A and B are shown apart, each in its own frame.
Chain A
Amino acid sequence: MDKFSVFSARLVDKTENFTSGHRACQGCAEALAVRHVMKALGRDTIVAMATGCMEIISSPLPLTSWKVPWIHNAFENPSAVISGVESGMKAMMRKGKLPYKKINYVAMGGDGATADIGMGQLSGALERGHDFLYVCYDNEAYMNTGIQRSSSTPYGASTTTSPAGKVSIGQHTQKKNMAQIAVAHNVPYVATACSSYPFDLMDKVKRGADTPGAAYINCLSVCPTGWRIPTEDAIKYGRLAVDCCIYPLYEVIGGQYKLSYKPYKKVPVTEYIKGQGRFRHLTDSDIAFIQGQVDREWEKILKLCGEGK
């Protein structure tokens, strides 16, 4: 859908199920991602959302940004709750207490709720094969509570609990690859998306929601506050992350890999890293090390998608 650039954007649904007036930071690309996801899902949707930025900013009592049934969960259990909702609705429809209708069951969480705290429940729900979609808004740290590291924080990023200094490089472990973990569950649909590619994101959400069985989407959501970048550059950094292949966009439909976007010219990771405050302490040799890792991962993905050498 990205190739239909100019006029087609005017044909996207204009109803908002995640309305404006919420309290996200200036330039928040995660709120943008939620808005696009909700646009793609439409009104017949039940959302269970884990604690995190999006829950805090969108539902301060007595206000709410949500126009669909929305359940607030603790960090660990959106996938468990949506499993129950899905099973309950299925039973009610079977017994004739509710008219039969196609409803999108969606669980959402940040990277902390998905990769760290809710990992077990998510794994369980994916394995049980409930008909639901899990969307992880990956902003690469616990941004809501003040930028603490999560297992999704990339190597070398400085956060308040992995500060860079004389001895430490910042985060010293690698980013957990949640999409690959979901693929390992053999679910029918897994995809990676990015808030800077809204049409691609909407397409993937629609496909994920239409797939019978569990679907998982990992959405890289740029966080200007936590990444220490100017607020107006949030979209630019999302695109850079994809262009320098640090975050490849692909889909896995029934085990078949498909690359959604191949950068026309691969950008060196320096472009992505140099403007971000969380990476400013990295030396040239550190960046060269990261570049090597990115190249290796990218080759792996290309090979899986059947586009490798």
Chain B
Amino acid sequence: MEKITIIIDGKQVEAVKDQPVLMAARENGIDIPALCHHPELESSGGSCRVCLVEAVQGGRSRIVTSCNYPVRAGLEVNTSTDQVMKIRKGVLELLLCRVPDSEVVRGLASKYGIDEPRFFKDEGENNRYKCIACSLCTQVCEDVVGVSAISMQNRGVEKAPGTPFHKDSQACIGCGACAYACPTGAISMKDSKGVRTIWGRKFKMAACSVCGKPYIPQAQVDWIVKTTGKDRAFFDKCPDHR
């Protein structure tokens, strides 16, 4: 935890060495927009390109993604120069072409004065729902949950998360962490009548023994019992009745 002083937008701020510039800026009240970065996931970031800033170090300036650019001594960061704003606007406009249905991207773009993209809008068959291919979902699945049921598939414009060969994944436990982590709300998860549908697979939900409410997928209980050694009886009751 080595504290060093860097300059962000002409303001001297204290930051921890090797901490992402984005976090240092946000801790000091300088807002940089970002979609694919999650503070609780170390490996996240670097793919949505919304958080681009100008980093000046040793007399050399370049545009970097602030979510994974480390804080080092003598660093000077500018978050809203004309060049940065122009690039950020361009990135948002392209994102909006890709996911015109996403409220999050639309809201962010309209903040920067973009209501309709000038380019071709990705619609119909090519519409990859609201996915911007940031891979937060696959990282959550691997790092937080630990099952790696989904992964990024294909390359280029077809890149999207999914289960292997788009078949029902036997590794998936139906926890829904991916749907929660998704910044644009692209992953659909539906609970109805004791069955949860996610990634095209149906999960039977375990019901609470007191109120009868189905509250957790059976597969998730099995996984938690297997990995943590917790008593299975703990999951007989829902959080309301423990």
Contact = CB atoms under 8 A, between A and B. Distances in A.
Contacts, number: 59
Contacts of A285: none
B180 A11 contact: yes
Contacts of A243: 211, 240
Contact of A4 (B40, B179, B211): B179
Contacts of B176: 3-4, 8
B77 interface: no
A8 B177 contact: yes
Given A4-B177, A5-B239, A6-B175, A14 B40 contact: yes
B177 A7 contact: yes
A1 B180 contact: yes
A11 B39 CA distance: 8
B191 A11 contact: no
A239 B208 CA distance: 15
B45 to A, nearest CB: 14
B113 to A, nearest CB: 13
Interface stretch (B12-20, B124-132, B213-221): B213-221
A117 B55 CA distance: 53
A4 B216 contact: no
B96 interface: no
Interface string A232-270: 000010010001000000000000000000011101000
A14 B41 CA distance: 12
Interface in B202-238: 211-213, 215-216, 220, 224
B58 interface: no
Given A6-B220, A243-B240, A264-B212, A11 B29 contact: no
A213 B15 CA distance: 35
B180 A8 contact: yes
A10 interface: yes
Interface string B118-149: 00000000000000000000001000110000
B212 A265 contact: yes
A265 B216 contact: no
A239 B212 CA distance: 15
Contacts of A239: 239-240
A43 B29 contact: yes
Interface string A58-78: 000000000000000000000
A101 interface: yes
A47 to B, nearest CB: 16
B158 interface: no
Interface in A68-116: 101-102
Nearest to A44: B29
Nearest to B28: A43
A280 to B, nearest CB: 23
A264 B211 contact: yes
Contacts of A264: 211-213
A284 interface: no
B31 interface: yes
A232 B140 CA distance: 33
B206 to A, nearest CB: 11
Among A11, A13, A267, the one with the most B-chain Cβ atoms within 10 Å of its Cβ is A11
Nearest to B176: A4
B227 to A, nearest CB: 11
B201 interface: no
Contacts of B175: 4-7
Interface of B: 27, 29, 31, 38-41, 140, 144-145, 175-177, 179-181, 189, 191, 211-213, 215-216, 220, 224, 239-240
Given A4-B177, A101-B31, 11 more contacts: A1-B180, A3-B189, A5-B239, A6-B220, A7-B175, A8-B177, A43-B29, A239-B240, A243-B240, A263-B211, A265-B213
